[in-house]
Amino acid sequence: LNQRVAKLKGIEKSLIDDLKSALPLMPGIKALCQILKHHQWYLAIASGGFVPFAERVQELINLDEVHANVLEFKDDKLTGKVLGGIVDAEQKAVVLNALQQKLGLEKSQTVAIGDGANDLKMMAHAGLGVAVHGKPKVVEQAQAAICQGSLLQLLYMLAVPLNPSQV
C-alpha cells in the first residue's frame, strides 16, 4: 500500500474530492442500511481504502463508524504517505473484535461482509461471514454469498423483515 500511495504524491486534494463525490454504491446498499438502522443495527466499515472515500460512504448510507487508511496532505496535496497503521486483513479482524467488545455483543450477533481475500479474517471472526460479489476464494470460504443482484438479499439471510415503505 505504501508503494502505491507514494505514486500519488502531489495529487491535489480537490481531485480526491471530485472522485469521492462520484463514488458509486452497490445496488441495494442504501435501502439495506436504512432497514438495518430501523432495526437498531450498528453499522461500520473496515476498509483497506482511504478515509475520504469511507467517510463519503458513511454520509451516503448512514454508517455509525468507519475505519480506513489515512492519507497525509500538505498544502492541499498528497504527500505520498499513509498516516498511522494500515487497515489490512489483520486490522479488519481487530476492528470487528473491538466493536464486538465495545457494543457488548456475542460473536453470533456480528456480521461481516466482504469481497476480497483481505476480508477473510474479519469474516472468520464474525458470527456470519458473507461474500458480496466476491472473488472465488472468498465465495468458497464464506458462510454465505451474494453473487449477483442487490444487497437486499442479505435481509433474508439475517431474517430481518422487509417493510416496503422503508425501501
Bridging pattern class, strands 144-146 and 77-83: unpaired
For residues 12-41, average pLDDT: 95
Q: Which tens digit of pLDDT belongs to each residue from 138-149?
A: 999 999 999 999
Distance separating alpha carbons of residues 55 and 133, to the nearest angstrom: 22
Task: Measure CA 22 to chain center.
Answer: 17
pLDDT tens track for 65-118: 999 999 999 999 999 999 999 999 999 999 999 999 999 999 999 999 999 999
Query: pLDDT category, 161, cuts 50, 70, 90?
Result: confident
Residue 82 cell numbers, joined: 499513509
| pLDDT at site 167 | 53
| Average pLDDT for 52-57 | 97
- What pLDDT score was predicted for residue 2? 87
Across all residues in the chain, what is the average pLDDT? 95
What is the per-residue pLDDT for 164?
Answer: 55
Taking residues 36-46, what's their average pLDDT? Answer: 96
- Domains in the chain, ordered, with CATH? 1-87 (3.40.50.1000), 89-159 (3.40.50.1000)
Judge whether residue 165 has pLDDT over 70: no
> Is-contact 26 149, C-beta < 8 A?
no
Section 28-45 average pLDDT: 96
C-beta separation of 77 from 16 below 8 A: no
H-type alpha helices, the chain: 2-6, 13-21, 29-38, 51-61, 89-103, 120-125, 136-141, 153-158
pLDDT score, position 160: 87
Tell me the per-residue pLDDT of 127-136, one tens digit each, with 9 for 90 and over: 999 999 999 9
Q: Which residue(s) pair with 130 in the sheet? A: 113, 144
